Chain A
Amino acid sequence: QVQLQESGPGLVEPSQTLSLTCTVSGGSISRGSFYWSWIRQPAGKGLEWIGRIYASGSTNYNPSLKSRVTISVDTPKNQFSLKLSSVTAADTAVYYCARDNDWFAPWGQGTLVTVSS
């Protein structure tokens, strides 16, 4: 079955750009009518949808983050990526990638990104 795995630096300095990649295995990112989403969760808090991408490259972003977010897709590598610019401590969170069919399933295991100098 489809599995997702996030990867990227666990520590990012303030004002820099957070970059994460989600690798999809067990199925093609281009197959089916799925979007691919990024979701984050600060420690002890709730879930925040960041944005999504379709295999064609079409994107949607949460307006609260839109000015700082870029999501891209690399279909030959079966990956999609997140870039979040001008990060602050408030961006410290576990970042998840997930397949998006209006509901999110499956999810990656998540990766903790800490913003600190």
Chain B
Amino acid sequence: DIQMTQSPSSLSASVGDRVTITCQASQDISNYLNWYQQKPGKAPKLLMYDASNLETGVPSRFSGSGSGTDFTFTISSLQPEDIATYYCQHYYNLPRTFGQGTKLEI
């Protein structure tokens, strides 16, 4: 299985901050990488697919980049509603696996 390692595991930031989360794959996964946001008690929500494509309706303050084994997810200006846990997920092969999550707090 491909291991997905996110860092940091938790992050405290202020409204308006630029926030960056990284995700590292245990092998080359090209750009087969997605990002999700999960708020407490809710199902995860797709934010980005193919490493850098914004899902329809997702605010443009969210962005992603990377290819191969190293990926970055960025919130350009943190908003209060962005408080959540963020997960990366690969789809290079089966089984699909997720990162352990990054809990974002204000």
The residues of A with any CB-CB pair to B shorter than 8 Å are 37, 46-49, 60, 62-64, 96, 98, 102-110
Report the bound CA distance from A106 to B97 in whole Å.
Answer: 18
Report the bound CA distance from A46 to B86 in whole Å.
Answer: 10
Number of B interface residues in the complex (CB < 8 A): 22
Cβ-defined contact, A63 with B95, below 8 A: yes
Chain B residue with the shortest CB-CB distance to A64: B95
CB-CB under 8 A from A62, the residues of chain B are: 94-95
Q: Known contacts A48-B98, A104-B36, A105-B55; can you find 19 more A-B pairs with CB under 8 A? A: A46-B87, A46-B101, A47-B44, A47-B98, A49-B97, A62-B94, A64-B95, A96-B44, A102-B34, A102-B91, A103-B34, A103-B89, A104-B34, A104-B89, A105-B45, A105-B46, A107-B44, A107-B45, A109-B42
CB-CB under 8 A from B98, the residues of chain A are: 46-49
Chain B residue with the shortest CB-CB distance to A63: B95
Cβ-defined contact, B49 with A103, below 8 A: yes
Cβ-defined contact, B95 with A108, below 8 A: no
A-B contact count (CB 8 A): 51
Chain A residue with the shortest CB-CB distance to B98: A47
**With contacts A105-B55, A108-B43 known, is A46 near B95, CB below 8 A?**
no
CB-CB under 8 A from A109, the residues of chain B are: 42-43
Check B18 for interface membership: any CB of A closer than 8 A.
no
Report the bound CA distance from A106 to B47 in whole Å.
Answer: 11
Report the bound CA distance from A109 to B39 in whole Å.
Answer: 12
Report the bound CA distance from A22 to B94 in whole Å.
Answer: 22
Chain A residue with the shortest CB-CB distance to B43: A107
Cβ-defined contact, B43 with A49, below 8 A: no
CB-CB under 8 A from A103, the residues of chain B are: 34, 46, 49, 89, 91
Cβ-defined contact, A49 with B101, below 8 A: no
Check B96 for interface membership: any CB of A closer than 8 A.
yes
Check B100 for interface membership: any CB of A closer than 8 A.
yes
CB-CB under 8 A from B34, the residues of chain A are: 102-104
7 closest residue pairs by CB, A with B: A107-B43, A105-B46, A102-B91, A49-B96, A62-B95, A47-B98, A103-B34
